[in-house]
């Protein structure tokens, strides 16, 4: 009775160790952890460059928006939007 229980527990431990070994081989958590760590370092080192690119894009779109608003204001019939230019057709 005691021998059977001991053999069953040893078999369970060996099965667990085999499943664990196969999981580590299949998923390789150390490799994925190393890859995520290196990607984090790369993101940290390129953060300033990405910020500059984002600011450039933001300024470019802001300039385009101002140009569109100016064109709309120039072509509008209301004189209060045109600034110093008066509507001569009135």
Condensed to tens digits (0 to 9), the pLDDT of residues 65-89 reads: 999 988 887 776 665 555 555 555 5
Cα 40 to Cα 45: distance, rounded to the nearest angstrom: 9
Residue with token string 């196969």: 22
| Total domain count, the chain | 1
DSSP-based three-state secondary structure for 78: coil
Structural domain of 44: 2-75
Domain presence at residue 52? yes
In a domain, 90, yes or no: no
Is the residue at 45 inside a domain? Answer: yes
In a domain, 61, yes or no: yes
Give the predicted TM-score (pTM) of the model. 0.48
32 domain residue, yes or no: yes
Residue 80 lies in a domain: no
């Amino acid at each position: 009775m005691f021998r059977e229980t001991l053999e069953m527990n040893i078999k369970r431990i060996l099965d667990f160790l085999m499943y664990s070994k196969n999981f580590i081989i299949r998923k390789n958590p150390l490799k994925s952890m190393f890859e995520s760590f290196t990607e984090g370092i790369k993101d940290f080192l390129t953060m300033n460059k990405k910020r500059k690119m984002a600011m450039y894009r933001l300024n470019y779109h802001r300039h385009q928006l101002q140009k569109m608003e100016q064109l709309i204001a120039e072509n509008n019939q209301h004189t209060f939007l045109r600034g110093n230019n008066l509507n001569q057709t009135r």
